[in-house]
Structure 1
Amino acid sequence: MKAESAASLPSAQLPLGVQLPDTATLAGFAPGPNAAALAAARQAAIGPDERGYFCGGPGKTHLLQAACRAAGEAGRRATFLPLTDWRDQPPAILDGLAGLDLVCLDEVDAVAGNRAWEEALVGALDGWRTAGASVLAAAPAAPAQLTGLLADLRSRLGWGAVYALQEPADDDKRRVLVARAASRGLTMPDEVARYLLTHTSRDLRRLMPLLARLDRASLAAQRRLTIPFVKQVCQT
C-alpha cells in the first residue's frame, strides 16, 4: 500500500509520525446526509486534480484518512497531515509532499496567525494544483469563515466544493457499528448496536475503542455479542 503516513516519509522532512487507523475506510463512513462528501472523498482518492473541503459536524477526519487509505489501495501516493500536530514544526516539511497524488490537510484552522505556515500552505497549494495533485482539507468552519487565516489561503482552500457535514442519524450509525463489527469477524445484532448508541455514546469515534474491547472480550470468553454480555463488558 502506497498511502503514506508521516512516519513513512523521510524523517528529515516529516518528523512527526502519523498512522492511519484501521477503521479509516470509505466503507466505514455512515453517509446519511453526507453522501455528497463521501462521493467527493472517493473521487479524490482515485482521480487527479480534485478539490474538496469538509467542515461542520463529525466525520471530517475520518473522510480525509479514508481517502488517503483508498488512494494507496488504488496505487496512488497520498499523505494525511493533521496541522494541529504539525504547526510547531518548520513549514519546510511541506516540501516533502511534492510529487504526491493526494494531500489531505486536517485542522487547517490550527495555523491561523502563523504567517510562515500560512504562506507556505499558499505556495504548496499552488504547487499541488500545478502538478495536478488532488487536495482535501478540513476545519470546523467554511474557508470564508476562517477570518484568522490569510485571505490568499482562504481563497485557495475554497477552490473546490465545500461540504458542511451533518450529524448522521442513529440508523446510519447503527449500520456502521454492525459493519465495523463484521470487519472484525463479530456478529453484532441490531438490538446490541441500538443498546450501545442508547447507553454508551452516540459518537462513533468514541464507540470504536469500545468495539475493540468487545472484540477482545468476546474472543477471550468465547461469547457472542448479546446485550447482557455487552453490559458486563461495559461495567468492567
Structure 2
Amino acid sequence: MSGSSQSGGVPQQLPLGVSLRDDATFANFFQSPDDGNRQVVGMLNAFACGQSPEQVVYLWGEPGSGVTHLLQSACQVAEASGRSFQYLPLSDLIDNDPEAIVEGLECLDLVCIDDLQQIEGRTDWQTALFHLYNRLRDSGKQLLLGARQSPRNLPLTLADLKSRLQWGLTFQLHPLSDNDKVAALVRRSKLRGFDLPEDVALYILHRAPRNTRALFTLLEQLDRASLQAQRKITIPFVKQVLNI
C-alpha cells in the first residue's frame, strides 16, 4: 500500500494488492510491562511521524512477536501525518522483479520493508535493496525494516548490504508469555466492542496455535460469528464455531 503527502512525494502505483490491516495500530499493540516493547512503540511513533532524527530502524523477532503489526502501524501513522509511504511485505512480493518494485521509492518519506529474511539466496533482491538503501540515505528519507533475524545473523551473501543493515537502530521484539496472550485477547476483544471472558480466552489459548497473529484471526472469526448469531462468546460457542 502506498500513500502520498502534500510535500511532493510521489506515491508508488504498484498493482500488487498490498494493503494494511485496519487493526494494525500502535494503540492496540499489546505491551506487557515486562517485555521491553514499550520503548520500541514510543520510538516508532515518533519515527513514523517524521519527528525522529533516525533514518533507519530495524525490527526483528520470531513469528507472532509483532514485527508486521508495528511496521503496518508505522504506515498508518505516516498516512495520518500526511507523509508519503510504502509498505512492502517481501513474503508476498519476492517473486516480482525487485528493480521494478523499488524504483522511485527514494521519493517517499517512509519505506517499510517486511519479511526481510525472504531475500536469503536472492542476489537480485539483495542488490536492489542495497542500492535503495543508499538512495534513501542520500535523499534524507526513512527506512523501517522487519525480519525474523537480527541484521548480524541475517544470512545474506551481499556483505555490503549486511553491513548497511547494521548501521541503524536495531530492536528485538520479545514474544508474549501465555498470560500476556490471554490479556492481549481480552484487550483486543474490548477494542472490537465485545467482552471476552478470561476463561474463554484461556480455553482458546490452550487449544489453538499459540502464535498471536493466529489467535487474533480466530478472535475476528468469533466476533463475526457472534454478531451473526446474536450470541455471547462462551466456551460452548467457541467449540461450535472453531471446532476446538
Q: Normalising to structure 1: TM-score of the pair? A: 0.86
Q: What's the CA shift for 1:107? A: 1.8
Is 1:198 aligned with 2:203? no
Q: What's the CA shift for 1:197? A: 1.6
- Distance in structure 1 (CA, Å) of the matches to 2:94 and 2:241: 39
Q: Does structure 2 conserve the Cα–Cα contact (< 8 Å) formed by 1:109 and 1:139? A: yes
- Distance in structure 2 (CA, Å) of the matches to 1:104 and 1:145: 20
- The residue number in structure 2 matching 1:35 is 38
Q: Does structure 1 conserve the Cα–Cα contact (< 8 Å) formed by 2:156 and 2:162? A: no
Q: What's the CA shift for 1:3? A: 4.1
Residues 169-192 of structure 1 deviation map (CA, whole Å, 9 limit, x = unaligned) = 223222322232223221222222
Structure 1 pair 15/168, CA: closer, same or farther in 2 (3 Å)?
same
Q: What 5-or-longer segments of structure 2 have no aligned partner? A: 5-10
Q: Does structure 2 conserve the Cα–Cα contact (< 8 Å) formed by 1:82 and 1:107? A: yes
Task: Give the paired residue count.
Answer: 230
- Distance in structure 2 (CA, Å) of the matches to 1:168 and 1:64: 18
Superposition RMSD in Å: 2.4
Counterpart mapping for 1:200-215 below 5 A: 200-215=208-223
- The residue number in structure 2 matching 1:76 is 83
- Distance in structure 1 (CA, Å) of the matches to 2:210 and 2:108: 36
Q: What 5-or-longer segments of structure 1 have no aligned partner? A: none
Counterpart mapping for 1:48-127 below 5 A: 49-57=54-62, 58-92=65-99, 93-127=101-135
Q: What's the CA shift for 1:104? A: 0.9
Q: Normalising to structure 2: TM-score of the pair? A: 0.83
Q: Does structure 1 conserve the Cα–Cα contact (< 8 Å) formed by 2:106 and 2:141? A: no
Which runs of at least 4 in structure 1 moved beyond 6 Å after TM superposition? none
Structure 1 pair 3/221, CA: closer, same or farther in 2 (3 Å)?
same
